[in-house]
Amino acid sequence: MGNSHFFRTIPTELRFGRVMMDFVVNRGWKRVAVLYTGDSLGLQMMDTIDVEAAKRNITIGYRRAFWDQGASSDVGPALEGLESSGHRIVLVAAVSVPQIRLIIEAVNRRLVSKNYVWLTINQITEPLLGGNAGLKPMDLNGLFMFDNLLKLTDYKPYETFLDKWAALDPKEYPYAGQRDIIANEP
């Protein structure tokens, strides 16, 4: 065999839909809302959440795409619909900038509070608490993050992979050409 290591390249984020539903079931919640991006990742996560909810007899009472194909950064209509729906358990099927903007706007509208539970993916506290967001840790009460370890620093096979990844042309392989991997999807 020419390759002694295998790196999975499917988006790990897709697996989080099932993890979120496991958490919902564990807590005994029966109705949830789902906000998802209109890109392929968000749509696939929504499909996963839909299937898992049906299997577990969980009702998705409100669902809304936002940030459709990256064309709009306006998260307002999705949050307005959420607020008027009366749902308080919110699953977010999004990553990176769309997810961060959604949470910042939800905090600004007082939708992240003791009255709501937000389930998100990946570690997002750093961008929420740093930079220009102006948020404090208390602003994030009710926010749960499901994350995976993306950095295996000093693990030789991983370092070799990063070297090869950094040498690729990002025009041919989106997000290649750099050693800093912050997500495996846009």
- Model confidence pLDDT, tens digit, residues 96-106: 889 999 999 99
In terms of domains, do 59 and 141 share one?
A: yes
Q: What is the dihedral of CA 41, 35, 102, 143, to 10 degrees?
A: -100
What pLDDT, on the 0 to 100 scale, is given for residue 70?
Answer: 55
In a domain, 100, yes or no: yes
Specify if 4 maps to a domain: no
Is 95 found in the same domain as 45? yes
| pLDDT score of 155 more than 50 | yes
28, 115: one domain: yes
Specify whether 49 is located in the same domain as 61.
Answer: yes
- CA dihedral sign of residues 64, 65, 71, 73: positive
Question: Do 142 and 155 belong together in one domain?
Answer: no
Residue 29, pLDDT above cutoff 80: yes
**Residues 179 and 112 grouped into a single domain:** no
What's the structural domain count of the chain? 2
In a domain, 3, yes or no: no
Closest CA relative to residue 91, chosen from 11, 28, 31: 31
Q: What is the pLDDT of residue 83?
A: 96
Q: Is residue 79 part of a domain?
A: yes
Same domain, 24 and 85: yes
Residue 7 located in a structural domain: no
**Alpha-carbon Rg for the chain in angstroms:** 18
- What pLDDT band is residue 156 in, cutting at 50, 70 and 90? confident
In this structure, is residue 5 part of a structural domain? no
Neighbours of 131 (CB within 10 A): 11
Instruction: Indicate if 68 and 133 belong to the same structural domain.
Output: yes
Q: Which tens digits make up the pLDDT trace of 3-14?
A: 666 555 555 667
Residues 137 and 175 in one domain: no
Residues 107 and 77 in one domain: yes
Is the same domain home to 111 and 19?
A: yes
Residue 140 lies in a domain: yes
At residue 11, the pLDDT reads: 58
pLDDT at residue 72, rounded to an integer = 59
* Residue-range definition of the domain harbouring residue 108: 13-146
Query: Which CATH number characterizes residue 57's domain?
Result: 3.40.50.2300
Q: Specify whether 131 is located in the same domain as 185.
A: no
Residue by residue, DSSP assigns 137-154 as GGGGTTEEEE------TT
Residue 1 resides in a domain = no
H/E segment holding residue 59? strand 59-66
